[in-house]
Structure 1
């Protein structure tokens, strides 16, 4: 999730159990603990563009790391502020630990993938029940956390936790409903995929991206939930076949190994980009949920496949009318 939501939820949990006179301390420590795991984004390499993909949402997000992560946050807070204000270290540690504990579980609710059981498992957990940014989750939570701080009462923070749990639970219900519609779409095409996945579109729980694989192709569509679901038929792309798509690639080369790293990060949802030569895309994310145009991809170089890593590409380009089309889809209007 975005850092604002992480910090706010991180504050809500310790506030909900703190003594009224400690609400401010709980808020500060909870915000710091709730945001701290994302400091792993600083782990980067000038020569290996994919290194940050391996470490983001890795050890700092593992459930086993919570006690150590909380201790590091508490030490920083105690050294920077706590000693001068005579704050008890055990309280700082408790509040920071509660905030830290919310982070990975909230991240796992998105589609990105979180290594909850590192180092015992390399599985990336993605429950797909909330968008990475969702103001309907975040804004009420911010209001309740601030109300708790200003009133020195626990109940607004408790209500904030209940709101977050309820909203994320609603996301599970919506996700399952979108999967069911996705299965109906596949059945209508005469397909019988083993798995249909649904992922929320940007900042809402109404519009979903469905993905399934049939034979050697991925099928992407959008589903707007409601009394009568609206289906926005999408695009089809061939699954990645290295021998077909990149016949020049040495399968023992550095770039071939980078492709496997990108496949692991993308949880298998990769394909050759039909619009750019020698580019492989992660089809999970796109600005419009019925499109395959990726937000990120990797660029291969046939001339340096064993001497340089692949290049990492991020695309934020929007075609004409993209925002308007997305808003129309969220409202369930015809395109």
Structure 2
């Protein structure tokens, strides 16, 4: 999640656990602890692929954060003890502020290595990386609590309950969309190799569905407010790696994305994109893996990330589609020209 959300979460967790000891300093300490795991973005692992796939690694691991919280609590108690705070209470507060960060990140689509150094990316993919409906209760509780300090801890606890209920709603909404997607794919006769479902930006009403199907993939949009249950899908070319051997960086990216990648040839460059993050023609993570030489042969290079560039499509229709307007088709006018074909038009 974004830094503001993580800071707000850390502050409210600290406020709720501090009880009558809660004050502005406790909230500030919680906010700092809540953002601490994301400091790994300042680590340079040597190339753009490594920086991408190793983010949310050791600094987000429960196996690291729990012993680190013990160490930090012990250091504070030794160097500058907090009056009227036992070691166990201080440790629990620090641990809670730290581990709720990766646990919340786990609800997004990016992938979090919760058990590093044990390999594996965890992702429930039920909330967008920025979701005001999750963050606002936390910020409101902090604001009201600071204005009425006697109730600060109680406001924090209430806000955490409300935000947690919202996360529960997101999982229920995703499960509903999963059922609709599975039924629609069966009706259309699409044999899915894998299905990925994620909310569209800033909401949990409208969901993006990506279906791998050999060297093509399907994209669809479904709102929980749709009157019709069937999901319309648009087919896109997925492409394939043109060289006989896949480099380690490509294998790492495929592991990170669970295979949801697309291959494109653009201006004598071979571009590999993460299909999970972004929408249609506006994918957020694209990397150049190879370039064509004068003889037209592909030469692998150290992958570099492409700038996202100007967003394509009419995003003003996103709200109407989220509210269940199925007159806006699955491409949502965001598919770059030329668009793919829907299931009824595809002949190959």
TM-score by length of 2: 0.81
CA shift, 1:273, in A, is: 2.7
Give 1:29's aligned residue: 29
Check if 1:102 corresponds to 2:119. no
Tell me which residue corresponds to 1:136: 133
Verify the 8 A CA contact 1:218 1:239 in the aligned structure 2.
Answer: yes
Does residue 19 of the first structure (1) align with residue 13 of the second (2)? no
Distance verdict in 2 for CA 1:84–1:78, change over 3 Å: closer
Q: Secondary structure at the match of 1:65?
A: helix
> What displacement does 1:16 show?
1.2
In the TM superposition, what is the alpha-carbon distance from 1:52 to its structure 2 partner?
1.2
Gap runs ≥5 in structure 2: 329-348
Partner of 1:315 in structure 2?
A: 308
Please state whether the residue corresponding to 1:236 is helix, strand or coil. strand
The residue aligned with 1:299 is 288
Select which of 239, 245, 258 maps to 2:249: 258
Distance in 1 (CA, whole Å) between partners of 2:281 and 2:218 is 9
Q: Which moved more, 1:257-266 or 1:269-278?
A: 269-278
Shift of 1:7: 1.2
Relative distance call for 1:226 and 1:76 in structure 2 (3 A) is farther
Matched, 1:282 2:274: yes
In terms of fraction of residues, the more helix-rich structure is 1
Contact 1:297 1:313 (8 Å CA) reproduced: yes
Point out where structure 1 has 5 or more consecutive residues left out of the alignment. none
Map of 2:208 onto structure 1: 209
Counterpart-to-counterpart distance in 2, 1:274 and 1:332:
36
Matches of 1:99 and 1:233, distance apart in 2: 42
2: CA distance between counterparts of 1:85 and 1:5? 27
Give the SS at the match of 2:324: coil
| CA RMSD across the alignment | 2.9
User: In the aligned structure 2, how far is the partner of 1:170 from the partner of 1:313?
Assistant: 35
Task: Deviation per CA, 1:197-235: give whole Å up to 9, x if none.
Answer: 321110001100012223442211010111625767343
Distance 2:72 2:234 in 1: 46
In the alignment, the residues of structure 2 paired with residue 26 and residue 231 of structure 1 have an alpha-carbon distance, to the nearest angstrom, of: 50
Give the aligned partner of residue 6 of structure 1.
6
Instruction: Give the 3 Å change call, closer, same or farther, for CA 279–225 of structure 1 in structure 2.
Output: same
Could you tell me which residue of structure 2 aligns to residue 180 of structure 1? 179
Aligned to 1:267: 258
CA displacement at 1:74 relative to structure 2: 5.9
Deviations 1:150-172 (A, max 9, x none): 42322111111111110000000
Which of the residues 297, 322, 328 maps onto 2:320?
328
Q: CA deviation at 1:65?
A: 1.2
Does structure 2 conserve the Cα–Cα contact (< 8 Å) formed by 1:223 and 1:229?
A: no
Secondary structure, counterpart of 1:128 in structure 2: coil
Change (3 A) 1:301 1:275: closer
Q: Distance in 1 between matches of 2:84 and 2:41?
A: 30
Tell me the distance in 2 between the aligned counterparts of 1:233 and 1:273: 24
Please give the secondary structure, in 2, of the residue aligned with 1:273: strand
